[in-house]
């Protein structure tokens, strides 16, 4: 096993407010970690900080991804090195077709790797196969990125992008929120298809529901910007039964 992500005593500020306070986390290849926690506990901040969102400033501590200090890498280089963020609220880009967007993203990564552009036919074959996996109709692909998509469609589209870009580390930020049970199953099967011994996932969620379909290796409870308890799937089930109160306010 290789260390994919290693977070050491991380402190993150948004503006003047400290959101993440002394977080430690190690993710090895092949592992799936779930982070659970009440609203405002800093879960999404962690996701955006790893991806390099400029509003989130690292005050101290380090995020090491595959032996590289992420704070030294640009947003797009992090992506091209295999860090994927599934957004909680995927933004619309009107008029830019999903297909054109995905192609640009894939070819950006290939360029970074010193490869030629993917041929149109290889791209389309791959796209067709993977869009079927997440139950996205062909006609959606010619529509603008997330333009007029329902909540479920947006989230499935995030999973499609993840499958197409084949990242090493997938961070899914509340991908399950607002999904009906069918969409959730689709999302879960997409994530399970992505899992293998060389990839890792960090799944941020409110509810245990999604974890019934994606069984994580570890479940962490996040509170006040740090992990206060780590366990396995049983911890998620306990949280479902008892809420967060017994941990956050013992």
Partner 1 sequence: MKKNLMNDTNNKNKEINEFLNKSYEYGFTTEIESETIPPGLDEEVVRLISKMKNEPEFLLKWRLKAFNQWKKMPQPDWAKLSIDPIDYQSISYFSKPKQDDGPKSLDEVDPKLLETYEKLGIPLHERAKLAGVAVDAVFDSVSVVTTFKDKLAEAGVIFCSFSEAALDHPELIEKYLGTVVPIKDNYFAALNSAVFSDGTFVYIPKDVRCPMELSTYFRINEAKTGQFERTLIVAEKGSYVSYLEGCTAPMRDENQLHAAVVELVAHKDAEIKYSTVQNWYPGDEEGKGGIYNFVTKRGDCKGENSKISWTQIETGSAITWKYPSCILRGDNSTGEFHSIALTNNLQQADTGTKMIHLGKNTKSKIISKGISAKSSQNTYRGQVTMSKGAKDSRNFTQCDSLLIGSNAGAHTFPSIDVMNPSSILEHEATTSKIADEQLFYCMQRGISEEDAIGLIVSGFCKEVLNELPMEFAVEARALLQVNLEGAIG
Q: How many CB atoms lie within 10 A of CB 111?
A: 12
Complex with partner 1: residue 160 or 191, whichever CB lies closer: 160
**Contact yes or no for 4/64 (Cβ under 8 A):** no
Considering only residues 151 to 190 of the shown chain, the ones binding partner 1 according to CB under 8 A are 161, 165
In the chain the beta strands, taken as DSSP E runs, fall at 3-14, 17-28, 32-36, 56-65, 68-69, 83-86, 93-97, 144-145, 169-173, 200-205, 218-223, 226-231
Q: Does 5 bind partner 1 (CB under 8 A)?
A: no
Q: Does 101 bind partner 1 (CB under 8 A)?
A: yes
Name the one residue in this structure whose structure tokens are 């740090």.
Answer: 226
SS3 33: strand
**Contact yes or no for 108/76 (Cβ under 8 A):** yes
CB of 182: closest distance to partner 1 in angstroms? 26
Q: Does 149 bind partner 1 (CB under 8 A)?
A: no
Q: Does 90 bind partner 1 (CB under 8 A)?
A: yes
Cα(48)–Cα(232) distance, integer angstroms: 25
Q: Does 104 bind partner 1 (CB under 8 A)?
A: yes
Complex with partner 1: residue 51 or 179, whichever CB lies closer: 51
Cα(60)–Cα(39) distance, integer angstroms: 24
Which segment (80-88, 122-130, 190-198, 204-212) binds partner 1 by CB under 8 A?
80-88
Q: Please give the size of the binding site for partner 1, defined by CB under 8 A.
A: 34
One of 27, 51, 160, 214 touching partner 1 (CB under 8 A): 51
Assigned token pair, 140 = 């959606």
Cα(160)–Cα(166) distance, integer angstroms: 10
Q: Does 193 bind partner 1 (CB under 8 A)?
A: no
Complex with partner 1: residue 109 or 223, whichever CB lies closer: 109
Q: Does 129 bind partner 1 (CB under 8 A)?
A: no
Q: Does 64 bind partner 1 (CB under 8 A)?
A: no
Q: Does 140 bind partner 1 (CB under 8 A)?
A: no
Residues that bind partner 1 (CB under 8 A): 51-55, 71, 73-76, 78-80, 84-85, 87, 90-91, 93-97, 100-101, 104-105, 108-109, 112, 144-145, 161, 165
């Amino acid at each position: 096993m290789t260390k994919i992500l290693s977070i050491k005593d991380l402190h993150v500020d948004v503006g003047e407010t400290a959101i993440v306070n002394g977080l430690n986390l190690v993710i090895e290849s092949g592992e799936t970690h779930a982070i659970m926690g009440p609203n405002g506990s800093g879960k999404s901040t962690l996701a955006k900080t790893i991806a390099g969102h400029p509003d989130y400033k690292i005050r101290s501590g380090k995020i090491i991804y595959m032996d590289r200090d992420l704070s030294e890498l640009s947003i797009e280089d992090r992506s091209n090195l295999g860090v994927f963020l599934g957004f909680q609220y995927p933004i619309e880009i009107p008029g830019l077709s999903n297909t054109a967007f995905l192609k640009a993203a894939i070819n950006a990564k290939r360029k970074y790797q010193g490869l030629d552009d993917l041929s149109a036919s290889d791209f389309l074959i791959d796209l067709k196969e993977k869009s079927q996996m997440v139950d996205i109709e062909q006609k959606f692909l010619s529509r603008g990125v997330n333009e007029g998509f329902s909540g479920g469609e947006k989230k499935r589209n995030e999973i499609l992008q993840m499958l197409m870009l084949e990242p090493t580390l997938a961070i899914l930020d509340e991908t399950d929120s607002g999904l009906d049970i069918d969409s959730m199953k689709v999302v879960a099967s997409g994530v399970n298809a992505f899992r293998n011994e060389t990839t890792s996932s960090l799944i941020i969620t409110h509810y245990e529901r999604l974890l019934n379909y994606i069984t994580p290796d570890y479940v962490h409870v996040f509170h006040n910007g740090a992990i206060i308890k780590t366990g396995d799937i049983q911890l998620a089930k306990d949280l479902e039964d008892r809420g967060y109160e017994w941990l956050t306010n013992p």
